[in-house]
């Protein structure tokens, strides 16, 4: 468990004598509050802020080079992952950064606590009045018109110029939280924005995978996806995994937790050939949640555990509940960081990780997004495959605007999917598969297309011509990378069967396939797959089935955002997985 000790600003500036005011320079700013938020009043000067400050790491360029060296199939170091200590040589701050920043804080009577394994993050608590003074900020109360969510943020903050090379980012400052609370990337029944998805479909039916092979009956009902259907579609083996070192982690945020009895019931019904006593190991970070049997479980982690565990047969699976401790962290970005550092602090990292949460990229500052993304690069360098869903709002972000009037005017990408060091999983439906209209996809406004995909994205963008011109950033990192079924998943939630939609389902499905490949690789004495994208965009692409038709939705009006196409596209990426072909391509 992560344990952290936070110490309040112990001595006021007054007690130390007024500190010498250093000159300040702007470190980050945004011109306006994000769409939907407006400034309502000044923040009360004695409101206590829990700030985190990231120091500049020793050598980020070295970290990224090391990541690509171990993740690129043609590299001589492919698969030679780094240890915790080796990664920390890159991620730890330099001694001069630690002392320069500590000096500045102590001048101001602030006592910082180190909160990440490499010492990159420090936590401080201070009242709004002092933060405004220290950071040349103007913390104010912003209200989200539709949800009424209130948050204390500033549109700009500054630091002394001599610290510019030492301080990477301070949070919370200019990053805003997801106003809809949960960052879960799934649709629960009260959301019906996709009612038109199947407007041409009169009734559900069983369909065959290939019309030419009419002797084989498909187990798929596209209106009620089951593990058996996915095994059939993606050639996922039913044989149990055997390697004891292979681990699959499923992260839960926002007090979301799965019920063990639901998994048992699900396995009894949908994997009768499996040991229905299979369950997950529980880990907690930040006072996580696990009230088994004493309250109603949440559907996000129910979906994630049921599909990951029914497909990754017998892979040792851990559910990590990341909770919220208001005294130490403010929003989802803090918890995302805590989840990443929880893993970076392990000596033995899991090989495969699925996290079905995200938020709209425009809420996150460039520096904070970069810092989080670099934590994922550090995990990749250690050999972890990180999978995230691409979002359920087509080109309009995590979700379709739930309230009319909040439509996007330019396309909204989803974070962390836009981080170049994770694998983003988009959505399909039907058999043969077409793009699901909810499938999040597009191009980052913060991260440039990395080398492994820049040919793929520029080919798509060239073919697009002037379509959607001005609505997206064609030089950005394109997402998703891959795709899997995203509609009508059968789950057992609180003892009852229901159907859910979302790329939240696609991510654990893809992760289960990766973890089964890792199981066989480890047993064959080979390294696990690690950061997948350099493989997927090169030698691995023929292990994916290209999805070439369908589209995702535009900003709220149910017209086309992007079309699926031959090759990579910003709706279904490179395509959906085929276990057998991937197995051959990874050398098994
Ligand atoms: C700062 O925190 C440390 C440990 O958390 C404590 O030992 C020390 O007394 C604190 N200093 C001040 C000035 O509060
Ligand atoms: C700070 O924000 C308040 C609203 O919270 C505003 O009234 C005030 O003008 C701002 N001050 C500066 C110096 O920008
Ligand atoms: C920073 O990197 C250099 C090598 O590039 C290494 O010698 C040094 O120990 C690193 N510093 C820290 C704090 O890890
Ligand atoms: C890292 O893990 C150790 C236990 O292995 C724990 O004592 C320590 O507090 C953790 N560090 C951080 C920063 O979470
Ligand atoms: C899933 O999507 C279908 C098609 O758009 C819709 O009819 C159904 O209500 C959605 N289910 C949920 C739980 O939102
Ligand atoms: C039908 O599919 C099965 C299983 O994939 C395969 O063994 C068989 O050869 C196929 N038959 C034809 C005619 O394609
Ligand atoms: C397919 O699933 C839907 C939704 O659960 C159900 O109503 C329908 O009866 C199923 N069709 C078949 C052929 O099983
Ligand atoms: C099923 O799993 C349980 C719990 O892991 C274990 O105790 C039991 O021996 C297993 N049964 C079989 C038949 O493998
Ligand atoms: C942890 O959660 C429990 C139950 O929700 C709560 O009572 C307790 O105050 C929390 N602890 C912290 C440090 O937030
Ligand atoms: C487009 O994205 C790149 C990063 O990929 C960024 O540098 C540039 O500022 C963005 N352009 C616009 C108009 O947002
Ligand atoms: C991109 O295309 C160029 C020109 O065709 C080629 O030389 C290069 O190897 C390609 N890069 C990747 C990463 O595929
Ligand atoms: C729908 O929205 C897109 C932007 O997402 C816009 O380009 C298009 O003109 C709109 N179509 C209609 C019919 O309003």
> By mean pLDDT, which of 4-18, 107-121, 153-167, 239-253 is the weakest?
4-18
In this predicted structure, what is the pLDDT of residue 324? 84
The CA 140 to ligand 2 mean position distance, Å, reads 8
The CA 501 to ligand 5 mean position distance, Å, reads 6
- Answer whether residue 424 shows pLDDT above 90: yes
**Residue 448 CB–ligand 10 contact under 6 Å:** yes
**Residue 38 CB–ligand 2 contact under 6 Å:** no
The CA 335 to ligand 10 mean position distance, Å, reads 27
Out of 365, 417, 424, 504, the active site residue is 504
- Answer whether residue 579 shows pLDDT above 70: yes
The residues spanned by each domain of the chain are: 1-57+93-176, 193-585
Out of 300, 324, 392, 519, the active site residue is 300
CA-nearest residue, atom 12 of ligand 9: 325
451 is catalytic: no
To the question of whether residue 547 is assigned a binding role by annotation, the answer is: yes
pLDDT confidence bin for 578, thresholds 50/70/90: very high
Which ligand lies nearest the alpha carbon of 343?
4
To the question of whether residue 59 is assigned a binding role by annotation, the answer is: no
The CA 407 to ligand 12 mean position distance, Å, reads 10
pLDDT tens, position by position, 152-204? 999 999 999 999 999 999 999 999 998 887 678 777 643 332 333 333 333 34
In this predicted structure, what is the pLDDT of residue 402? 59
What the block records as the tokens of 189 is: 């029944």
State which of 42, 135, 139, 143 you would mutate to test the pocket of ligand 2, scoring each by most atoms of that ligand within 8 A of its C-beta: 42
Q: What is the mean pLDDT of residues 107-130?
A: 93
> By mean pLDDT, which of 122-131, 318-327, 415-424 is the weakest?
318-327
The answer to whether the CB of 399 falls within 8 A of the CB of 407 is no
Q: What is the mean pLDDT of residues 319-330?
A: 87
Q: What percent of the chain has pLDDT over 90?
A: 80
Q: In Å, how far are 244, 429, 556, 557, 564 from 560, measured between CA atoms?
A: 46, 16, 10, 9, 10
304 is catalytic: yes
**Residue 8 CB–ligand 6 contact under 6 Å:** no
Out of 28, 262, 290, 304, the active site residue is 304
CA-nearest residue, atom 6 of ligand 8: 277
User: For ligand 12, what atom is nearest to the CA of residue 395?
Assistant: 5
pLDDT confidence bin for 7, thresholds 50/70/90: very low
Tracing tokens 């033995």 back to the chain, one arrives at 348
Which ligand lies nearest the alpha carbon of 276?
8
* Burial environment of residue 345 by CB neighbours within 10 A (0 to 12, 13 to 18, 19 or more): middle
The answer to whether the CB of 109 falls within 8 A of the CB of 16 is yes
Q: Which helix (H) or strand (E) holds 514?
A: helix 503-523
In this predicted structure, what is the pLDDT of residue 404? 54
- Answer whether residue 437 shows pLDDT above 90: yes
What the block records as the tokens of 143 is: 């209200």
User: For ligand 5, what atom is nearest to the CA of residue 196?
Assistant: 5
In this predicted structure, what is the pLDDT of residue 216? 57
In this predicted structure, what is the pLDDT of residue 283? 96
The CA 114 to ligand 10 mean position distance, Å, reads 33
In whole angstroms, what is the distance from residue 487 CA to residue 437 CA?
10
- Answer whether residue 209 shows pLDDT above 80: no
Which ligand lies nearest the alpha carbon of 560?
12
In this predicted structure, what is the pLDDT of residue 190? 35
In this predicted structure, what is the pLDDT of residue 231? 98
Closest to 118 (Cα-Cα) out of 343, 370, 335: 343
Q: In Å, how far are 336, 391, 394, 440, 487 from 506, measured between CA atoms?
A: 20, 10, 15, 12, 9
Q: In Å, how far are 10, 17, 45, 159, 417 from 126, measured between CA atoms?
A: 9, 17, 10, 16, 33
Which ligand lies nearest the alpha carbon of 553?
12
Q: What is the mean pLDDT of residues 532-549?
A: 98
> By mean pLDDT, which of 65-69, 95-99, 197-201 is the weakest?
197-201
Domain 193-585 of CATH type 3.90.180.10: no
> By mean pLDDT, which of 4-8, 181-185, 263-267, 536-540 is the weakest?
4-8
User: For ligand 3, what atom is nearest to the CA of residue 58?
Assistant: 1
The CA 19 to ligand 10 mean position distance, Å, reads 39
300 is catalytic: yes
pLDDT tens, position by position, 450-489? 999 999 999 999 999 999 999 999 999 999 999 999 999 9
pLDDT confidence bin for 354, thresholds 50/70/90: very high
Q: Within 6 Å (CB) of ligand 5, which residues are found?
A: 187-189, 191-192, 194-195, 197-198, 487, 500-501
10 or 331, which is more confident: 331
Tracing tokens 């965009």 back to the chain, one arrives at 537
The CA 317 to ligand 5 mean position distance, Å, reads 29
60-71 vs 84-91: helix crossing angle, rounded to 10 = 140
- Answer whether residue 215 shows pLDDT above 90: no
User: For ligand 10, what atom is nearest to the CA of residue 448?
Assistant: 5
In this predicted structure, what is the pLDDT of residue 405? 60
CA-nearest residue, atom 9 of ligand 7: 204
In this predicted structure, what is the pLDDT of residue 192? 31
pLDDT confidence bin for 557, thresholds 50/70/90: confident
Mean pLDDT of the residues in the chain: 90
């Amino acid at each position: 468990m992560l344990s952290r000790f936070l110490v309040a600003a112990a001595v006021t500036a007054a007690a130390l004598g007024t500190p010498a005011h250093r000159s300040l320079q702007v470190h980050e700013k945004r011109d306006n509050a994000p769409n939907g938020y407006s400034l309502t009043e000044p923040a009360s000067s004695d409101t206590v802020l829990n700030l985190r400050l990231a120091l500049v790491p020793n050598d980020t360029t070295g970290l990224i080079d090391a990541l690509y060296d171990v993740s690129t199939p043609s590299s001589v170091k492919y698969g030679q992952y780094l240890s915790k200590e080796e990664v920390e040589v890159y991620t730890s701050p330099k001694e001069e950064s630690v002392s320069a920043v500590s000096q500045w804080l102590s001048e101001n009577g602030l006592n910082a606590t180190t909160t990440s394994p490499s010492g990159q993050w420090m936590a401080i608590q201070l009242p709004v009045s002092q933060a405004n003074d220290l950071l040349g900020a103007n913390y104010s109360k912003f209200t989200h018109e539709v949800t009424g969510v209130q948050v204390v943020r500033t549109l700009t903050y500054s630091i002394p110029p001599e610290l510019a090379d030492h301080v990477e980012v301070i949070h919370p400052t200019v990053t805003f939280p997801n106003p809809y609370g949960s960052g879960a990337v799934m649709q629960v029944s009260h959301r019906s924005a996709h009612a038109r998805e199947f407007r041409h479909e009169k009734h559900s039916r069983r369909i065959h995978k290939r019309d030419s092979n009419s002797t084989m009956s498909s187990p798929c009902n596209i209106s009620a996806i089951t593990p058996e259907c996915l095994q059939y579609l993606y050639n996922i083996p039913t044989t149990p995994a055997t390697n004891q070192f292979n681990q699959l982690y499923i992260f839960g945020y926002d007090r979301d937790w799965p019920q063990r009895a639901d998994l048992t019931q699900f396995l009894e019904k949908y994997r009768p050939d499996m040991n229905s006593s299979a369950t997950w190991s529980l880990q907690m970070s930040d006072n996580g949640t696990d009230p088994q049997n004493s309250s109603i479980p949440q559907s996000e982690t129910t979906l994630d555990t049921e599909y990951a565990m029914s497909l990754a047969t017998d892979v040792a699976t851990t559910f990590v509940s990341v909770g919220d401790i208001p005294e130490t962290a403010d929003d989802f970005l803090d918890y995302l960081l805590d989840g990443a550092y929880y893993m970076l602090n392990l000596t033995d990292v899991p090989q495969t990780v699925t996290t079905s949460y995200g938020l709209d990229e425009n809420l996150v500052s460039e520096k904070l997004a970069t810092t989080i993304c670099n934590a994922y690069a550090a995990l990749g360098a250690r050999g972890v495959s990180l999978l995230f869903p691409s979002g359920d709002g087509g080109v309009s972000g995590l979700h379709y605007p739930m309230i009319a009037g909040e439509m996007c005017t330019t396309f909204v990408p989803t974070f962390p999917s836009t981080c170049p060091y994770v694998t983003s999983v988009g959505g399909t439906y039907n058999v043969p598969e077409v793009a699901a209209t909810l499938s999040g996809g597009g191009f980052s406004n913060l991260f440039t297309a990395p080398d492994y995909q820049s040919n793929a994205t520029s080919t798509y963008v060239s073919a697009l011509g002037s379509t959607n011109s001005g609505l997206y950033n064609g030089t950005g990192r394109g997402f998703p990378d891959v795709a899997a079924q995203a509609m009508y998943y059968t789950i057992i939630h609180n003892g009852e069967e229901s159907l859910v939609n979302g790329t939240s389902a696609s991510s654990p499905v893809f992760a289960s396939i990766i973890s089964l490949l890792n199981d066989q690789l480890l047993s064959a004495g080979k390294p696990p797959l690690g950061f997948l994208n350099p493989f997927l965009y090169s030698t691995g692409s023929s292990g994916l089935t290209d999805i070439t038709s369908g589209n995702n939705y535009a900003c709220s009006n149910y017209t086309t955002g992007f079309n699926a196409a031959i090759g990579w596209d910003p709706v279904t990426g490179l395509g959906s997985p085929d276990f057998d072909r991937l197995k051959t391509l990874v050398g098994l």
